[in-house]
Amino acid sequence: MAHPRSTWIAYFESLSLGKRKRSPTANLKLDPESFSTRILIAFGFRLLQLWARTLRYEVDARSAVLETPVKENYLGALWHNRLLLISYALKRFVPHRPGAGLISASRDGDLVADLTKRFGFDVVRGSTSRLGASAMLELTEVLASGRDVLITPDGPRGPAYELGRGIIFLAQKSGAPIQPINIEYSSCWRARSWDKFILPRPFSRARIIFGPLLRVAPTNTDAEFEAERCRLQDAMMALVEMR
């Protein structure tokens, strides 16, 4: 590492994985261990499976992500409003690539974390406001162990399509290439949320796009760092058709 561990933690605490606004569900009172919550999670998991299975899929792989054996692990980058069926898609089309997702440590992230685990992925809890530094360290350990990591770099609260600095810093410190990912649907609904969250209509077509791998260059100045941030943001937006 270029910086001592303590310096790294202090620096990451000043970064953002996406500018965060207070969640309207921040006061949501859900006990993840309660019977009612477990029933809700089980129902949500089955519903997502059934919903996903109605879609017709096409995979557009512009990198070696589908190849076996796995030669190197990657840091996946997906816009937040495409998040709904990504666990199902990755488990179906790249089952040979184990991984973990970064999910907010807030209460409203509890359900998402449990659903992600049910699809067979590990979870790292954290954001800039909660456990940011420890999450960064854990993500680096996941990458070092040969597993992939998935981040929504404009989450958890936006602005939509604005890439936070944290993913660039993580890529520089871990040395892992970034795999831009996108999902496009032939027909969908849009939620009334900050990112116009996408809900595919049943029986529509889903195109899963794995863009070319992007390797983040080392930087010495804020201007150089910003250039790398913009380069990744542009690469991700180049895959987006419906905004």
Structure confidence by residue, pLDDT tens digits, 102-133: 887 766 677 788 888 898 998 888 764 455 67
> Is the pLDDT score of 178 beyond 50?
yes
Radius of gyration of the chain (CA): 17
Provide the pLDDT for residue 125. 84
Confidence (pLDDT) at 135: 82
pLDDT, residue 30, reads: 56
Nearest one of 167, 214, 228 to 15, comparing CA atoms: 167
The pLDDT of residue 27: 45
Q: What is the DSSP secondary structure assignment for residue 190, as one 8-state letter?
A: E
223, amino acid identity: A
pLDDT of 115 reads 83
In the predicted model, what is the mean pLDDT of residues 229-241? 98
For 165-181, the DSSP string reads SHHHHHHHHH-PPEEEE
56: how many CB neighbours lie within 10 A of its CB? 10
The per-type count for the chain, helices as H runs and strands as E runs, is: 7, 9
Type of residue at 148: D
- C-alpha separations of 217 from 158, 175, 210, 222 in Å: 25, 9, 21, 13
Burial of 68 (0-12, 13-18, 19+ CB in 10 A): exposed
Which pLDDT score, from 0 to 100, does residue 158 have? 85
pLDDT at 29: 52
Q: Is the peptide bond between 180 and the residue preceding it cis, with omega within 30 degrees of 0?
A: no
pLDDT tens track for 4-61? 344 344 434 444 444 434 444 444 455 656 778 778 888 889 999 999 999 999 999 9
Q: Tokens 């890439």 correspond to what residue?
A: 163
pLDDT band at residue 99 under the 50/70/90 scheme: very high
Give me the pLDDT at residue 94, please.
Answer: 96
**What are the beta bridge partners of residue 151?**
77
- 141-172 pLDDT per residue, tens: 999 999 999 999 997 888 999 999 999 999 99
The answer to whether 89 and 96 are in contact (CB under 8 A) is: no
Which contacts qualify for 212-219: CB closer than 8 Å, 24 or more apart? 212/62, 212/63, 212/180, 213/63, 213/64, 213/74, 213/177, 213/178, 213/179, 214/177, 214/178, 214/179, 214/180, 215/171, 215/177, 215/178, 216/168, 216/171, 216/172, 216/178, 218/172, 219/172
pLDDT of residue 197: 95
Query: Residue 181's pLDDT is what?
Result: 98
pLDDT at 108: 64
pLDDT at 31: 63
Looking at residues 90-108, what average pLDDT do you find?
Answer: 87
The per-residue pLDDT for 128 is: 45
